[in-house]
Amino acid sequence: MSSPPADDWDLLASVRRDPTALDALFRRHRDTVFRFAYARLQNEDDANDLTQEVFLRLGRYRRPVFRRARFSTWLYRVTANLAADEWRRRQRETPVAGGEEAEAPANPAAAKDLDQVLALLPELPERQRETLVLRILEGWSVAETAAAMGVSNGSVKTHLHRALESVRRQLED
């Protein structure tokens, strides 16, 4: 009879002394981390790199583990912070030629699938983008999303409403 799977927090606490712990965390959470990274960065290679960086950081994690939130909420925060750093780095390194703004999608009205909606995410303010990813794409509850983002439930609802309205308008144009 096999033992029950270890709790994610317990795995994190044992990563430094047990190399299989990081592998277990990676297998459990890589897809979620990748999806969120891809939604934020809109580039598969960058999302893969960010996913690897998240788990490399977990492998070097030295602080005591405080279980104030669900592990997935905490892991989202780690991923969101690294994605925001990468996004800012990109903005500094990619000057816009002649002060022109980036082009909008060629035909937003033709957006009929998730990939086309995801392509609109960079147009949203950061909080709206995060809320949309967590609530709609990851299926988190309002309370889970609020805890991960460090905002109130009402703020989550407001950000989600504004994000959906913005996407709807862009798709109608």
Confidence of residue 40 (pLDDT cuts 50, 70, 90): confident
d(CA 12, CA 21): 7
Structure confidence by residue, pLDDT tens digits, 120-172? 887 888 888 888 888 887 788 898 888 888 889 999 999 999 988 888 888 88
d(CA 140, CA 149): 12
pLDDT of amino acid 148: 83
d(CA 128, CA 131): 5
Structure confidence by residue, pLDDT tens digits, 52-69? 999 998 888 776 666 777
pLDDT of amino acid 73: 82
Q: How many CB atoms lie within 10 A of CB 158?
A: 15
User: What pTM was estimated for this model as a whole?
Assistant: 0.61
Mean pLDDT of 77-85: 85
Q: Identify the DSSP state of 124.
A: S
Residue ranges in 7-152 assigned as alpha helix (H): 8-14, 19-41, 44-59, 71-93, 114-120, 126-132, 142-149
Mean pLDDT of 42-59: 90
Residue 87 phi/psi, 5° resolution? -60, -45
Given a cut of 60, is residue 77 above it in pLDDT?
yes
The better pLDDT of the pair 173, 153 is held by 153
Q: What mean pLDDT value characterizes the chain?
A: 79
